[in-house]
Amino acid sequence: MSEIKVIHDEITGEKYNYIKHSSGLDILVWEMEGFSSTEALFGTKYGSINTMFKTEDDENYTAVPEGIAHFLEHKLFENEDTDVFDLYAKTGASANAYTSFDKTCYLFSCSDNYQESLKILLSFVQKPYFTKESVDKEQGIIGQEIKMTEDNPGWRVFFNLLKCLYHNHPVKIDIAGTVESIAKIDADLLYKCYGTFYNLHNMVLSIAGNVKTDEVIKIADELLIPTKDKKLETVFEEEPYGIVQKEVVQKMPVGTPIFHIGFKSNALIGYEGLKAEMETYVAVNVIADAFSELYKELMDDGLVNNSFSTEVFNGDGYFTVIFAGESKDPREVLNRIKMAINKAKKDGLNREHFDVIKKATYGSTIREFNNVDSVANLLINNYFSNLSPFDGVKILSQMTYEDVQSCLIERFDTENVAISIIES
């Protein structure tokens, strides 16, 4: 029998159902009254960074070619007898899939027939079928995708930065791999990775919107094939604190030169990881949002334009604060950012600004509950980090100025920073 728990949040009044399914799969269902559409994601904790792994059946760790998680995602859409898109065509759902650094998700969104679409989703992801011919053909398609990303300066500037920051961690690897690395992939290797990562104990089903929990459980009972937990372990080579190199420049056609500046620091996981992420988010906004002294100065001196932005990029084994934008002089932008950080470390962050950013962050958290798509994604993203979707609101309600000031000292090391530039 499957166990159902209602997870309720007192601050927002929101709730969802958590089901520990007898097959080994965790299922998260968020019923959203009044919405017409349904969004479902069936995901595995398997992304581009998981290139070394073993289960209880293996003696040693297996290392696999770069880009294989993404390759597997493409191949799973072909069943032995039919194409998955043809099946979805009969339900009217819009189906897709994506591979990120730390997960692969298969998804659909629809307004009708969600139960039929859910049956397709749960069935095809559990039915791999790879042949030499189909693998060879996919190498051509993914080769085109890789070529397309090579032409995307926004993508290149980001991965060039990660290569500057990370010595060993596979986050520096392009998600799709390279034309050379995917040439090493064959059907056997795909089955090996599938058997390891597509175990229901390593997966989750997240579904939100116009949906009923009992209907989802009924379909899960019917279609999920119980699997034994194989005690999967993934490892990364040890990553030193320091960076690889301070700067990288690539030439390709762009308007104004574009830049990514990254401050690397030690990674954390779970609740502590989210706490660090949110404190860093608040800190970086106090330092560099449109109200900051830094932003005003950079704009007045013509060093950035309205594309200037910040991001906290973190996950299993990596944590970086990124400042991105376009500039005629990216190195000077880096100098100014370092000066602003050092000043904030010395004098303290602007306290009034801290209060305002905290309030704005609360508002954006509430907005996430306004949309079926964002709710389904919120559920799955938090699940894979061992978090509840309400942890963000809780952390925010307890966050103090002192927490954020300490985070600034720890996460914005002006000696541990790199810059990536793309210019024509």
Residue 4 and residue 244: Cα distance in Å, rounded? 48
315 near other proteins (CB under 8 A):
no
Please list every residue from 195 through 254 that binds other proteins, using CB under 8 A: 209, 252-254
Residue 165 and residue 248: Cα distance in Å, rounded? 11
Distance of CA 81 to the CA centre of its chain: 32
31 near other proteins (CB under 8 A):
no
- Of the candidates 55, 54, 4, the one whose C-alpha atom is nearest the C-alpha of residue 28 is 4
Q: How far apart are the first and last CA of the chain?
A: 61
- Minimum CB separation from other proteins for residue 222, in Å? 23
- Minimum CB separation from other proteins for residue 336, in Å? 16
34 near other proteins (CB under 8 A):
yes
> CB atoms < 10 A from the CB of 364, how many?
9
- Minimum CB separation from other proteins for residue 417, in Å? 24
Residue 42 and residue 384: Cα distance in Å, rounded? 12
What is the pattern of x (binds other proteins, CB under 8 A) and - over residues 156-195?
A: -----------------------x----------------
- Tell me which of 66, 73, 138, 326 is the catalytic residue: 73
98 near other proteins (CB under 8 A):
no
141 near other proteins (CB under 8 A):
yes
Of the residues 183, 225, 290, 409, which one makes contact with other proteins according to CB under 8 A: 290
Residue 181 and residue 198: Cα distance in Å, rounded? 22
Sequence-distant (≥ 6) Cβ neighbours of residue 286 within 8 angstroms: 292, 344, 349, 350, 353, 354, 357, 404
> 417-423 and 38-44 as β-strands: parallel, antiparallel, unpaired?
unpaired
Contacts with other proteins by CB under 8 A: the residue count is 70
Burial class of residue 401, CB neighbours in 10 A (0-12, 13-18, 19+): middle
106 touches 97 (CB < 8 A):
yes
Of the residues 307, 309, 386, 406, which one makes contact with other proteins according to CB under 8 A: 307
299 near other proteins (CB under 8 A):
yes
361 near other proteins (CB under 8 A):
yes
Structure token pair of residue 159: 């991965």
Of the residues 35, 98, 129, 159, which one makes contact with other proteins according to CB under 8 A: 35
Residue 272 and residue 60: Cα distance in Å, rounded? 31
Amino acid at 398: Q
Please confirm, yes or no, whether 272 is among the known catalytic residues: no
Piece in contact with other proteins (CB under 8 A), picked from 214-222, 338-346, 367-375, 382-390? 367-375
396 near other proteins (CB under 8 A):
no
251 touches 413 (CB < 8 A):
no
Of the residues 15, 127, 132, 137, which one makes contact with other proteins according to CB under 8 A: 137
- Minimum CB separation from other proteins for residue 111, in Å? 3
144 near other proteins (CB under 8 A):
yes
Piece in contact with other proteins (CB under 8 A), picked from 15-23, 46-54, 87-95, 213-221? 87-95
Structure token pair of residue 317: 């084994």
- Minimum CB separation from other proteins for residue 424, in Å? 9
C-beta closer to other proteins: residue 138 or 239: 138
Distances 32 to 2, 91, 254, 284, 424 between C-alpha atoms, Å: 22, 21, 43, 33, 48
C-beta closer to other proteins: residue 39 or 279: 39
207 touches 39 (CB < 8 A):
yes
> CB atoms < 10 A from the CB of 18, how many?
16
Residue 323 and residue 288: Cα distance in Å, rounded? 9
Distances 134 to 83, 86, 99, 195 between C-alpha atoms, Å: 12, 17, 19, 19
> CB atoms < 10 A from the CB of 213, how many?
17
- Minimum CB separation from other proteins for residue 187, in Å? 18
Please list every residue from 245 through 284 that binds other proteins, using CB under 8 A: 252-256, 258
Of the residues 57, 364, 398, 415, which one makes contact with other proteins according to CB under 8 A: 364
Of the residues 25, 95, 207, 211, which one makes contact with other proteins according to CB under 8 A: 95
Of the residues 25, 28, 64, 110, which one makes contact with other proteins according to CB under 8 A: 110
Catalog residues that contact other proteins under the rule CB under 8 A: 32-37, 83, 85-86, 88-96, 109-112, 137, 140-141, 144-145, 147-148, 150-154, 179, 209, 252-256, 258, 289-292, 295-296, 299-300, 302, 305-307, 326, 353, 356-357, 359-364, 366-367, 369-372
Residues annotated as catalytic are 73
